[in-house]
Amino acid sequence: MVSPTTTSAPALSQVLDPALDDLGVRLHDDGGTLRVFSQAADSLDVVIFDADDLDWATAILPMQRRERGVWEITSELLVAGARYALRAAGPFGAGNIFNPQTLLLDPYGRGIVSSGFGDWRSVVVDRGFDWGEVRKPAVPLDRTIVYEAHVKGMTKRHPGVPAALHGTYAGLAHPAMIEYFLDLGVTTIELLPIHAFASEPRLLQLGLDNYWGYNTLGFFAPHAAYATDQARREGPDAVLREVKGMVKLLHQAGLEVVLDVVYNHTAEEGIGGPRSSLRGLDNRAYYRQQEDGTYIDVTGCGNSVNTATDAGARLVLDSLRYWARDVQIDGFRFDLATTLGRDDQHRFTPEHPLLRAIADDPELADTKKIAEPWDVGMGGWQTGNFGDGWHEWNDRYRDRVRNFWLSDVDYARRASTAPVGIGGFATRLAGSSNTFSAERGPLASINFVTAHDGFTLNDLVSYDVKHNLGNGEHNRDGADTNRSFNHGAEGATDDERILATRRKAMRNLMGTLLLSAGVPMITAGDEFGRTQRGNNNAYCHDSALTWLSWEHRPWQRDLFSHVRRLIELRAENPALRPIRFARLDEETPSASVMEWYDERGETMSGERWNDPAHRTLQYVAASTPEFEEFNRILLIVHGNETPVDVRLPVIDGVSRYVSLWSSAEESPSLEAPVLAPGDVVPTPPTSMHLFRAE
């Protein structure tokens, strides 16, 4: 790993410069004004098209150059509903690629439509919408349960959603879906990309589609294909209203909406790829390049947006402001966020002006900002290195939890003992203090065991290797190191012993996720054990492989009940969701004081922390002031495939332990057995058990 540079990044003089304000179209009573950035162009035209024939130009309007590379025009033709494109001319070379015959999207266009011939038109959109009295739910971070979902996949097969709404924004906000989210107990719906995107030509040639959406055409326009047929017929105005209507209804139910945003690259791919917008307007300003114009690709997608330039950084910031203000989005998950924090030498710095602007901007103050803290460039892995105001996907958490419950158990079956002890797992359980600073605290960590990218929870416990042949890349794509374990059979099996062990492994993984300090993220469908048949990179499958099925077997309903119960317990027990790391030398408000015991009820020794033969732990957490009430819990974790007797610890002020949950049970128990300090609890193999200490 290359450490982040500690030198200050050069200031981006125009991140907040008024000269770059109001790019895109602004409507007024007698038409509209369009402003476009292109420092390198010699001329810039707006081409207006017939609304019914997107190949028929009705007007070509030259734009006037203003200060700082901004071009401007005011015209009565720029009204709501107008279809338009840009044409740029300029010198060829020095990293720029101009072709005055190429029709380009406005980077700030609020609507995008296809011409039907592989290119696109921007659309002037009426942004008006009646939000009424609905406000953002503003769910506190310690109470946040993130649910990562795909707009289409979530509802495409849901029997309670009308067929006309299947796979749509409106379908996601249908009462049947809202009831499901509330019943499960999640608070924050994180949507895979809904910015307008396109499928790569390579995928289309294979008869596949870009399903996930990480191939952006425009950072301001919603993806029209997720709107209802009626909204698409009515046009981009109606599509935008449907998106806003979805947000409004989810907000009315108290649910937040977070967008997965892809600002690190665009659908224009590498040199020679599709030229739809930024490359044809100002290639040098918008993409990272060598002096000779060769792209510096730190994303693995052919290009990297250059946020070390004023234009690139401002494009990202303005897009965020638009979605947060106009569409009332509650937060953003930044795909390959390390790319956004690279300076003009292409090195990551947590003090990058754009990263600080995003964290400090008053218009984004009430939004959650979640970084995927890596990219594929040199020094790209930066987990724990983003600054104040940022939260991060914690891949260290993911890997350690998977290791503990899966690959370590697999190793122990073959070598008689696991490769490591329980110490590293305990650190993740307690909030990853070795990754996030005391100032940022445990809530800087977005804990996850699975995500859209990789195995589903069910596949994680059912496959040792990926099965991606259907992706058309000869099984070369997707991660090879998954830390998964099939428990004795690869994929589908009728062996009830194996199936039971897999089900318990899923309960252990979900139990760990929802009982750990930090912010948990559940991947849609994991709560009932969905499968993608071992495909760990299903980005190109818009089919029943990736759409959620709502026909569930009894074991799936049991798993759902476990997840719902765990979410309830997290809400009811503030000791499970500390805001700060506790300090040993003084009482820390809104923290949890943690104590650690072995299976004998004795304080954990250094030897036991690291001994692979001793993977049993009793974790006691007690909340400190500023929470709603004093609360103390006991969690038993047993990570070996042999049973063990656990003696409950004797602790001052604790007279009894009330059983709340156990992963050893197929269905969550409605009973709450009461045990005394010093009682011995027979603990089944590889299991977890939660108690309230009173």
CA dihedral 609, 612, 613, 617 (to 10 degrees): 40
H-assigned helices in 194-330: 201-205, 229-234, 236-252, 278-286, 310-325
What is d(CA 471, CA 478) in angstroms, rounded to the nearest whole number? 10
Q: Alpha-carbon distance 282 to 285, whole Å?
A: 5
Residue 163, burial from CB neighbour count under 10 angstroms (0-12, 13-18, 19+): exposed
Residue 570 phi/psi, 5° resolution?
-60, -40
Nearest to 549 by CA among 181, 174, 157, 179: 157
Between the CA of residue 91 and those of 26, 87, 94, 285, what are the distances in Å? 29, 14, 8, 14
Does 599 participate in catalysis according to the annotation? no
Kindly calculate the radius of gyration of the chain based on its CA atoms and give it in whole angstroms: 26
Whole-number Å distance between alpha carbons of 391 and 369: 6
- Can you spell out the DSSP letters for 521-568? EEETTGGGT---TT-S-GGG--STTTSPP----HHHHHHHHHHHHHHH
Distances (CA, A) of 16 to 12, 72, 309, 326, 432: 9, 19, 13, 19, 35
Residues written for the chain: 694
Phi and psi at residue 69, to the nearest 5°: 80, 15
Angle between the 278-286 and 310-325 helix axes, to the nearest 10 degrees? 120
Half-sphere exposure of residue 212: CA atoms within 13 angstroms, side-chain side: 18
From the list 260, 297, 318, 335, the catalytic residue is 335
The CA distance from 158 to 587, in Å, is: 49
Of 242, 256, 260, 372, the active-site residue reads 372
Collapsing DSSP to helix, strand or coil, 339 comes out as helix
CB atoms under 10 Å from CB of 140, counted, come to 10
CA distance linking residue 569 with residue 692, whole number of Å: 10
Q: What's the rounded Cα separation, in Å, for the pair 570 and 516?
A: 9
Pick the closest to residue 187 from 19, 43, 330 (CA basis): 330
Annotated active-site residue 360? The verdict is no
Closest alpha carbon to 387 in 439, 443, 330: 439
Burial environment of residue 92 by CB neighbours within 10 A (0 to 12, 13 to 18, 19 or more): exposed
Distance CA(460)–CA(533), nearest Å, equals 10
Q: Which residue has the tokens 């996030």?
A: 436
Catalytic residues: 335, 372
